[in-house]
Amino acid sequence: MIMDATFWVTVSFFIFLGILVYFKVPQKIKENLEQNILNIENQISEAEKLKEDAKNILTEQEKKISNAKNEVKEMLNKANEIAEKNVIKTNEEFHKLMENRKKSAEERIRQLKNQAEKDIKNVSVKIALESVEKLIKNSLDKSKLDKIYSSSVEETKLALKKKSS
């Protein structure tokens, strides 16, 4: 009989297979593998759901970002419009203020001019009166006095007319 090592390895292999079948190891392995496959399939489907949710969230966030950008643009445009209006308003107010100051200065100049003319008239009259007094004191006769008085009055009137025009 030829019972060599190969025979005993073959017999032990079949016994090992018999023990495995007896304890239902292939079924347990199959069930375990099927359970793993189901778990992996569930994880894949969950991952796909999460991927879809992530895409939806990304789309929503992109829309929000786009809306926010539009709102920022609108806010900037409104702010620019308001700033331009404020600049124009301030500029107009400045011009009005300068125009009022110019009018006030012109009015003040007119008042000073009128006052100067009055002062000149008063001084002219005073000088004329003083010259007449001096002439009277120097005892001129009446005819000469009348002529000097008339000429002084005429000169004063001409001087005043020249100054006022």
Residue 128 lies in a domain: no
Residue 9 lies in a domain: yes
Residue with tokens 């990304």: 58
The mean per-residue pLDDT over the stretch 76-102 comes to 94
Q: Is the pTM of this model over 0.85?
A: no
Residue 21 lies in a domain: yes
The whole-chain average pLDDT of the chain stands at 87
Residue 95 lies in a domain: no
pLDDT at residue 145 tops 70 = no
Question: pLDDT digit string (tens) for 18-55?
Answer: 888 888 888 888 999 999 999 999 999 999 999 999 99
Residue 18 lies in a domain: yes
Pairwise CA distance, residues 19 & 25, whole Å: 9
Residue 110 lies in a domain: no
Pairwise CA distance, residues 71 & 77, whole Å: 10
Could you list the residue range(s) of the whole structural domain that residue 24 is in?
A: 1-53
What's the total number of domains in the chain? 1
